[in-house]
Amino acid sequence: MRISGIVFVLFVVLSLASSVSAQPLEGAYDSQDLGGQVFVGRYTEGWDAGGGALNAGTVLNAESWDAGTTTLGSQWRYWCSTEGANAVLLINTVNGLGNGNRTYMKTFNGGYIWLSGSGPWANGAPEYYGTIDNYVEFETITYSNWVPIAAVTNVQAQAHFDDYPATCMTFYIGNGSRVATTALGDPVPANYPEFLDTSCSPTRSEGACWDFFTITLSVVGCVTAAEETSWGAVKSMYTE
Asked if residue 90 and residue 3 are part of one domain, the reply reads no
Model confidence over 171-195: pLDDT tens digits? 999 999 999 999 999 999 999 999 9
- Residues 236-240: contacts with CB under 8 Å, at least 24 apart: 237/9, 238/2, 238/5, 238/6, 238/9
- SS3 state at 232: helix
Say yes or no: 11 and 77 in one domain: no
In this structure, are 19 and 77 located in the same domain?
no
156 with 187, same domain?
yes
Average pLDDT, the chain: 87
Instruction: Answer yes or no: do 191 and 238 share one domain.
Output: no
pLDDT, residue 209, reads 98
Residues in a beta bridge with 207: 46
User: Residue 28 CB: number of other CB atoms within 10 A?
Assistant: 12
- Widest Cα–Cα separation across the chain: 86
Residues 60 and 154 in one domain: yes
Residues 89 and 190 in one domain: yes
Coil, strand or helix at 64: strand
- Tell whether 158 and 233 lie within a shared domain: no
- The count of structural domains within the chain is 2
More confidently predicted of 22 and 113: 113
pLDDT tens per residue across span 78-126? 999 999 999 999 999 999 999 999 999 999 999 999 999 999 999 999 9
User: Per-residue pLDDT for 234 more than 80?
Assistant: no
Helix, strand and coil percent figures for the chain, each rounded to 5: 15, 50, 35
Cβ of 209: how many Cβ atoms within 10 Å? 21
For the chain, percent of residues with pLDDT exceeding 90: 80
Domain limits at 161?
26-223
Sequence-distant (6+) residues with CB within 8 A of 213 are 31, 33, 40, 173, 174, 175, 176, 177
Choose the most confident range, by mean pLDDT, from 8-22, 159-173, 179-193. Answer: 179-193
Mean pLDDT of 139-149: 97
Identify whether residues 1 and 92 lie together within a single domain: no
